[in-house]
Chains A and B, each alone.
Chain A
């Protein structure tokens, strides 16, 4: 699925129940992070649920593996990864993820006050991109 398809799919969902159900589906379809990565080293600071992020660098592009013990957060992670995966560091830097989440009707989940780890995950992705520039 492309990001455009995802945005289109979300546009058909006009209440939060359906959006959350779709997020649960996305979460269920996210590939599990291998257990050996579920260590403090790859943990993202988040208060409400555990979140892990593992960066991989191939051919000038960044690829991330991510996971959480909360299913809605997994769904949100799968969107974040769809947005950022296999992009170059400078492409990552130029992505306005807030706009994309607003289009999906999920902007509240990116607020720093929500503390679901997603905002920290995005900061970390940007940090890794910065590091590899």
Chain B
């Protein structure tokens, strides 16, 4: 374990005031704060090392190309990919999943094939498959989760049919915190002849992620949730599969030979990175992953697991407070509602108390509806969250209850 108060010094905003109150930032699941090492690294590049990548044979370009490719290597090691050619830089996880739907999906799926997702998906792992369904006539199947948000293996197996060609699931729900048994699910998908895609946006922030151990075929995540910059995400894919996929977008940096008659394309990852990429953001992402690795994923997980049990002990069995999503295997994401107070009203008051929580459908409207709500509030943890942050929530809720009830 690490000293969380020492760690917090790496995130200047956490010690600043919000609405003249100490900053209680409980919205890391939406986007995490960035450590100074990431901010400084990106500033350093813009100040002293900036040029385009994969272009010139001049010093600056060679230098930054090396840093950009080193970032790919860092990602490769962070997720234990077999090769850095399996790491594609995208804008975010949303683009990563759209890429798979648009390239692999259009090439390999036919009318009548099934894509299977869980009831706990973010819109980013739902809408791309709906679009594909409407375009080429695949069917989109959704396997149910339990009322407490738990994964239901028997439902998953029931929905895995010979027609299932792809299972696309979240590793950890952004609304419920439920963690899915990815390794076992991947094995069952493969036994059934389906590929297995993981939306790892939340999972990778809180759990050691090993794509070879999970044996997933694709894995997507966003840099801004892993304490890195916005505008950068990752798609991991097994090389053999990536190699069989057509390009996503076309343009510069991804072509082999171009004539007016015909163009041939580079292999992965260049094939999927058309145009000038988010260079500095990719390097910033590498720095962020280094930061997490230096702390140790097992330490981050231990810290957050401790916070999860502390939050459960504080928030379960509180009259008037209902937790939405109480699966035994749950990470640091707590959705909740307060009896008689609209989540939006609650958030107004929490904001004034310096507490940042998200309210709404959390880009997972069908899931929030399935749990029986129109909107919910959500408190989520990061590696810098303290018991003090958790302690701040209840008094603020009490204050809201006094005002509204």
18 examples of A-B residue contacts, CB within 8 angstroms: A16-B352, A17-B403, A20-B352, A20-B403, A21-B403, A24-B403, A47-B360, A48-B347, A48-B359, A49-B344, A49-B375, A70-B342, A71-B342, A71-B345, A71-B404, A72-B345, A73-B344, A73-B345
User: CB-CB contacts of B348-382 with A at 8 A, as 1s and 0s?
Assistant: 11001000000110000000000000110000000
Indicate if B149 sits at the interface (CB-CB under 8 A): no
Q: When chains A and B are docked, how far (Å) is the Cα of A24 from the Cα of B349?
A: 12
Indicate if A69 sits at the interface (CB-CB under 8 A): yes
Q: Give every chain B residue within 8 A of A24 (Cβ-Cβ).
A: 403-404
Q: When chains A and B are docked, how far (Å) is the Cα of A47 from the Cα of B403?
A: 23
Q: Number of contacting residues on A, CB 8 A? A: 16
Q: When chains A and B are docked, how far (Å) is the Cα of A48 from the Cα of B347?
A: 10
Indicate if A88 sits at the interface (CB-CB under 8 A): no
Distance in angstroms from A117 CB to nearest chain B CB is: 9
Indicate if B247 sits at the interface (CB-CB under 8 A): no
Indicate if A116 sits at the interface (CB-CB under 8 A): yes
Indicate if A50 sits at the interface (CB-CB under 8 A): yes
Task: Name the CB-closest residue of B to A48.
Answer: B344
Task: Name the CB-closest residue of B to A73.
Answer: B344
Q: Is the CB of A48 within 8 A of B375?
A: yes
Instruction: Find the residue from A71, A115, A116 having the highest chain B CB count within 10 A.
Output: A71
Spell out A's residues near B (CB within 8 Å).
16-17, 20-21, 24, 47-50, 69-73, 115-116
Contact of A20 among B349, B360, B374, B375 (CB under 8 A): B349
CB-CB under 8 A for A70 and B352, given A47-B360, A48-B360, A50-B374: no
Task: Name the CB-closest residue of A to B359.
Answer: A48
Instruction: Find the residue from A47, A50, A70 having the highest chain B CB count within 10 A.
Output: A70
Q: When chains A and B are docked, how far (Å) is the Cα of A24 from the Cα of B404?
A: 7
Indicate if B343 sits at the interface (CB-CB under 8 A): yes
User: CB-CB contacts of B320-357 with A at 8 A, as 1s and 0s?
Assistant: 00000000000000000000001111011100100000
Q: Give every chain B residue within 8 A of A69 (Cβ-Cβ).
A: 342, 374
Distance in angstroms from B355 CB to nearest chain A CB is: 14
